[in-house]
Chains A and B, each alone.
Chain A
Amino acid sequence: MKKRIVLSFVLLVCLTLIFVCLSVMAGSASIPLRDLARILTGHGGDDTAAMILLKIRLPRTLAALLLGGALALAGYMLQTFFHNPIAGPFVLGISSGARLMVAASLIAAAQGAIRLSSAILASAAFLGALIAMGAVLLLSSKVRSMSLLIVGGVMIGYICTALTDILVHFADDADIVNLRDWTVGSFSGMKEESLVVCAWIVLAASAAVFLLSKPIGAYQLGESYAQDMGVNIRAVRGAMILLSSLLAGCVAAFAGPVSFVGIAVPFLVKRLLGTAKPLVMIPACFLGGGVFCILSDILARTVVSPGELGISTVTAVLGAPVVLVIMLGRRGDRA
């Protein structure tokens, strides 16, 4: 058991390193490994290559790593919260809620009503995620069935997306170009300032999730068992809602829509570890989400090169089959 967990972590860390290297090397101008070493150690090399690497590819790779980790953790917490393996920020409409508020603040900024900053974007996304989460919670108090909750969440997502479209429609022509780009979803184009804000939020929230691994483990057994173990259930539930909204909101603000990572990664990681214990699941999910998103990002910009696919296109192709596997595997259980 312990051996398997250690080996899983070794594997995840190696995969992270390998994909980070591949991600900064691959692209329309490929940078060979020896140049990579030279640039990173500051021994010159090609100036253009150094520019591409440090200003474009490295930030993009780090964004994929951080936001992928954030998505996987948000998904993991929502699955635990609802005791539902196919819950996630995307299917429950939480990402769409965040995007609605981000769109609203982008347009407000374009109209000159507010000054845009990464912190404002992240706050708007957090607020939007919380509003959508509120709607999902209301729904979950009315419906007992797991599948109905998911269908309801998808509907909430559609409503938010429709409202976002309406907002975009009324925005000025010049802003639309920007917004259209952003509605596809991508890890590229993050400025250094955004990346720093994003890294602080994601790392702090992920650390907080990790510190909650003990009560989350109790909560997994069911609420009456957690109660019996002396857990303050309202506090744990509240913390899980806030942290998953913050993480999902952060992704929506800085990368746009990224689908299925939140469901597929925790499922795959759990199979890899052979346990659902939060103490190991939380760090493993973070690494797994990072690996999954870096891989997806590499595919997004190399498969149709010199063009580029939306990140969600790739994560859906990789992730949706996993969701189907989960659903088929649950045939025997209650719906």
Chain B
Amino acid sequence: MLEVKNLSAGYGGRAIVRDISFTAAEGEILTLIGPNGSGKSTLLKTLCGALPILAGEIAVDGIPVGRMNRNTFARAVSAMLTERPKTDMMTCRDVVETGRYPYTGTFGLLGKADRAAVEEAMALTDTSELAARPFGELSDGQRQRVLLARAVCREPKVLLLDEPTSYLDLHYKYTFLELLDRLRRERKPAVVMSLHEPELARAISDRVLILGDGMPAGYGDPGELLGRDNLIRQFDLTDALWDKYHG
């Protein structure tokens, strides 16, 4: 269970997102929607712990993240980022294994339980047959699935996904969502993700948070918030423009 209360965050002490509040319970998907530069990535980076909390609170299962040490936090929260990992000479299994890092000892060697978690996550994400392939040679769709397996094998309470469907073709977009849906039912993490496609967000999210210029501009039911009129308003469109391309 992830709770965010009146959160402000940004770079160099300057708030880019302000007054953000939401909750995501076990197995729930909360989707962040908003124009470019509205603060979705900043918010996700803050949730990962990469940016400091300037005001407000983030808590996982009732414990404020500020009170957790790095390793406890890393076990509780894992992220799939937009940035490509640098994977010189790494196979897909190597990449997935890095997800178990917070559970390993001094030399970072995986134990039996770690290996089992890696295999399970790869089976869940349909990446088992890619295990021995070099990560650098994958297609975009395969890469996203391997990175999801990496995030999932940590068995986190909170799973953060930054634009997981960007760069994917239609087939991979839908299979990715299907995967995510299976994941949340089987593993029950609280999922927070950013998406650019309102129709996908409507289909999979339990709740959406709309961001406009760093401030919450709507929070609640996807069906209500992602209707035509609201999207036109939030994304600075016109009726004519919308209708021309939506027939």
Contacts and interface: CB of A to CB of B under 8 A. Distances in A.
A219 to B, nearest CB: 10
Which of A214, A221, A274 has its CB near the most chain B CB atoms (within 10 A)? A221
B86 A213 contact: no
A225 B99 CA distance: 9
B133 to A, nearest CB: 14
A211 interface: yes
Contacts of B71: 230
A213 B108 CA distance: 8
A217 B70 CA distance: 17
A110 interface: no
Contacts of B99: 229
Nearest to A221: B85
Interface string B80-94: 010111111110001
Contacts of B9: none
Interface in B39-58: 45, 48-50
Chain B interface residue bracket vs A? 20 to 34
B174 to A, nearest CB: 26
B164 to A, nearest CB: 14
Contacts of A222: 83-86
A230 B81 contact: no
Given A228-B74, A229-B98, A220 B86 contact: yes
A224 B50 CA distance: 7
Interface in A225-244: 225, 227-232
Interface residues of A, number: 23
Nearest to A211: B106
A222 B90 CA distance: 14
B101 interface: yes
Given A228-B48, A230-B71, A279-B107, A221 B89 contact: no
B230 interface: no
Which of A221, A222, A229, A277 has its CB near the most chain B CB atoms (within 10 A)? A229
Interface string B101-119: 1101011110000000000
B78 interface: yes
Contact of B74 (A211, A220, A229, A270): A229
B176 interface: no
A17 to B, nearest CB: 26
B79 interface: yes
A151 to B, nearest CB: 22
A224 B83 contact: yes
A305 interface: no
Interface string A200-227: 0000000000010110011011101101
A207 to B, nearest CB: 13
A218 B86 contact: no
A227 B73 CA distance: 11
A270 B89 CA distance: 9
Contacts of B75: 230
A232 B49 CA distance: 11
A279 B94 CA distance: 13
Contacts of A230: 70-71, 73-75, 101-102
Interface of A: 83, 211, 213-214, 217-218, 220-222, 224-225, 227-232, 270, 274-277, 279
11 contacts: A214-B107, A221-B87, A224-B48, A225-B81, A225-B83, A228-B48, A228-B78, A228-B81, A270-B88, A270-B89, A274-B89
Given A222-B83, A231-B70, 9 more contacts: A217-B98, A218-B101, A222-B86, A228-B74, A228-B81, A230-B70, A230-B71, A270-B89, A277-B94
